[in-house]
C-alpha cells in the first residue's frame, strides 16, 4: 500500500466516523428507518438535523465495511486464515468485550447518581452476571458495537468469501447489488449481507482484483458523484418530510442510491482536496478514529439527555444542542484517548485492538 493510499484511508475513515457521530447526535426524534417518512412538523431544526444525520452521514457505515473488506483481503490467502483470525481476535473481539463491559460500568455509575435512570431499562446494577454477559454479547448498551460484531462474522466467513470471489469474480456481486438496490429481500439465512456484507465483499473484490481509474477521470467522477448525491439527498429529504410524494421509487431505494453516490463523492472528492490544510488537521486526529467510534456512545446519549434538561426542547435549543453535543463528544473522546495513550499505553492498545 502506498503512503498516499494509507493517508487517504486514514483521513476518509476519520471523516466517516464524524458522520456516524452526526447521525447518532440527532435529538428531535428517535431512530428513523431509511424506508420510512418522518411523522412530524417540518422546521429548520428538523430539516438541518435530517440532512446532516440522515443525509450526508448515511454513506459512512457502508464505507467502513468497504474499507474493512479491502484491508482484510489485500494480502489474504487461504494459507493466512489462522494468522488473520488471531489478528482480528486482538483487533475486534478484545475491544468488543472491553467496551461492552466499560459501557455497562458507565451506566451503573450514572444510574447510581439518580439522574439518568432512563438510560437503560431497569436498574443495571441489580441484574445478574449472566445478564451482563448477554448485554456484552448483544451490545445492549454500546449499540454501535454491532459493527464489530458483523466484522467478526465476516472474518469467520472470509475463506468462503475468498473462494466465491476467486472463482466467480464480479459475477457474484452484480446480482446481489441489484437485489439490494431494488430492495428485494434475500432468504433469511443470507440476510446478514444487507447489514454491510455487500460493501465488505466489494472491498474484498477490489483488494483481490484491483480497480484502475485513470487520473484524468477522477475529477469528472467526483463532480458527477457530488451532483447526483446532492440531487438524491434533496429528493430523499423532500419525500421523507412529505413535501413531494414518492411516485416511482421507494424511499429506501433512493437512500441506497444516495449511499453509493456519497461513497463515490467522498472517495474521489478527497483526491481533489488532499493537499488542503484541513486534511493535516484530520490526519492528526486519525489515530483516535477507533477510540471515537467505540467511546462516543453512551456518552453522546448522556449529553443529549442532560442538555435537554438545561436547554429545553425548542427548535433553536435542540439545534444548538445537536451541534454542541457533537463538538463536546469529539473533543472529550479525543482528549481522553490522548491521555490514555500517553499514560497507560498498554491499556489503550487493548481498548483499540492495537490501533
This prediction's pTM: 0.93
Where do the structural domains in the chain lie, given as residue ranges? 1-57+275-355, 63-211
Res 118: pLDDT: 65
**Residue 185: Cβ within 10 Å count:** 10
Q: What is the C-alpha separation between 172 and 178, in angstroms, rounded? A: 11
- Answer yes or no: are the C-beta atoms of 258 and 229 closer than 8 Å: yes
Buried b vs exposed e over 277-297: b needs ≥16 C-beta within 10 Å?
A: eebeebeebbbbbbbbbbbbb
- Written as nine digits, the cell of 222 is 467526483
Q: Taking the CB of residue 338, how many other CB atoms lie within 10 A of it?
A: 15
Q: Please give the Cα distance from 55 to 173 (Å, whole number).
A: 25
Q: What is the pLDDT of residue 252?
A: 87
**298 Cβ partners below 8 Å, 6+ apart?**
103, 106, 107, 119, 141, 142
Q: Would you say 198 and 165 are in contact if contact means Cβ atoms under 8 Å apart?
A: no
Q: What's the confidence (pLDDT) of residue 342?
A: 96
Which pLDDT tens digit goes with each residue over 39-65? Answer: 677 788 999 999 999 999 999 999 999
Distance in angstroms (rounded) separating the CA atoms of residues 76 and 307: 47
What pLDDT shows up at residue 11? Answer: 97
C-alpha cell at 328: 463536546
Give, as one character, the DSSP assignment of residue 52: I
What's 318's DSSP letter? Answer: H
φ, ψ of residue 57 to 5 degrees: the values are: -85, -15
Structure confidence at residue 39 (pLDDT): 64
Query: DSSP state, 317?
Result: H
Q: Give the per-residue pLDDT at 117.
A: 66
Tell me, what DSSP letter sits at residue 128?
-
Question: CA dist 258 to 107, 263, 344, Å?
Answer: 36, 9, 42
Cell of residue 14, nine digits? 476519520
pLDDT below 70 — which residues of the chain? Answer: 34-35, 39, 115-122
pLDDT at 355: 85
Residues 6+ apart with CB under 8 A from 26: 49, 50, 53, 54, 322
For 133-197, the DSSP string reads: HHHHHTTSSSGGGHHHHHHHHHHHTHHHHHHHHHHHGGGGHHHHHHHHHHTPPPPGGGGGGGGTH
Q: Grid coordinates in use for 320?
A: 444548538
pLDDT for the residue numbered 219: 93
Distances (CA, A) of 75 to 123, 207, 209, 253: 47, 8, 11, 34
Q: Is 178 exposed, middle or buried (CB count within 10 Å of its CB: 0-12, 13-18, 19+)? A: exposed
Q: From CA 126, how far away is CA 346, in angstroms rounded?
A: 32
pLDDT in tens, 252-268: 899 999 999 999 999 99
Amino acid at each position: 500500500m502506498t503512503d498516499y493510499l494509507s493517508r487517504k484511508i486514514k483521513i476518509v475513515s476519520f471523516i466517516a466516523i464524524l458522520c456516524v457521530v452526526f447521525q447518532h447526535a440527532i435529538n428531535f426524534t428517535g431512530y428513523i428507518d431509511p424506508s420510512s417518512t418522518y411523522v412530524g412538523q417540518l422546521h429548520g431544526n428538523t430539516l438541518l438535523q435530517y440532512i446532516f444525520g440522515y443525509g450526508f452521514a448515511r454513506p459512512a457505515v457502508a464505507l467502513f465495511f468497504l474499507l474493512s473488506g479491502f484491508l482484510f483481503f489485500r494480502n489474504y490467502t487461504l494459507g493466512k486464515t489462522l494468522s488473520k483470525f488471531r489478528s482480528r481476535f486482538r483487533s475486534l473481539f478484545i475491544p468488543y468485550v472491553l467496551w461492552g463491559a466499560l459501557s455497562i460500568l458507565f451506566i451503573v455509575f450514572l444510574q447510581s447518581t439518580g439522574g439518568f435512570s432512563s438510560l437503560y431499562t431497569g436498574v443495571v446494577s441489580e441484574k445478574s452476571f449472566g445478564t451482563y454477559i448477554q448485554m456484552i454479547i448483544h451490545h445492549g448498551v454500546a449499540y454501535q458495537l454491532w459493527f464489530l460484531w458483523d466484522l467478526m462474522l465476516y472474518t469467520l466467513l472470509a475463506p468462503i468469501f475468498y473462494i466465491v470471489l476467486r472463482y466467480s469474480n464480479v459475477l457474484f456481486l452484480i446480482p446481489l447489488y441489484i437485489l439490494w438496490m431494488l430492495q428485494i429481500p434475500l432468504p433469511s439465512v443470507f440476510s446478514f449481507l444487507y447489514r454491510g456484507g455487500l460493501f465488505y465483499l466489494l472491498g474484498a473484490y477490489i483488494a483481490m482484483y484491483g480497480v484502475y481509474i485513470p487520473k484524468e477521470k477522477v475529477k469528472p467522477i467526483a463532480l458527477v458523484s457530488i451532483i447526483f448525491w446532492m440531487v438524491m439527498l434533496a429528493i430523499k429529504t423532500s419525500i421523507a418530510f412529505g413535501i413531494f410524494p414518492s411516485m416511482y421509487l421507494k424511499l429506501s431505494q433512493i437512500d441506497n442510491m444516495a449511499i453509493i453516490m456519497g461513497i463515490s463523492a467522498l472517495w474521489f472528492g478527497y483526491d481533489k482536496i488532499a493537499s488542503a490544510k484541513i486534511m493535516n488537521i484530520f490526519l492528526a486526529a486519525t489515530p483516535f478514529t477507533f477510540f471515537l467510534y467505540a467511546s462516543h456512545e453512551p456518552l453522546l446519549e448522556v449529553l443529549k439527555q442532560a442538555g435537554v434538561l438545561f436547554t429545553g426542547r425548542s427548535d433553536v435549543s435542540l439545534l444548538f444542542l445537536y451541534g454542541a453535543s457533537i463538538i463536546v463528544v469529539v473533543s472529550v473522546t479525543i482528549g481522553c484517548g490522548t491521555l490514555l495513550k500517553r499514560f497507560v499505553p498498554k491499556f489503550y492498545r487493548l481498548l483499540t485492538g492495537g490501533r
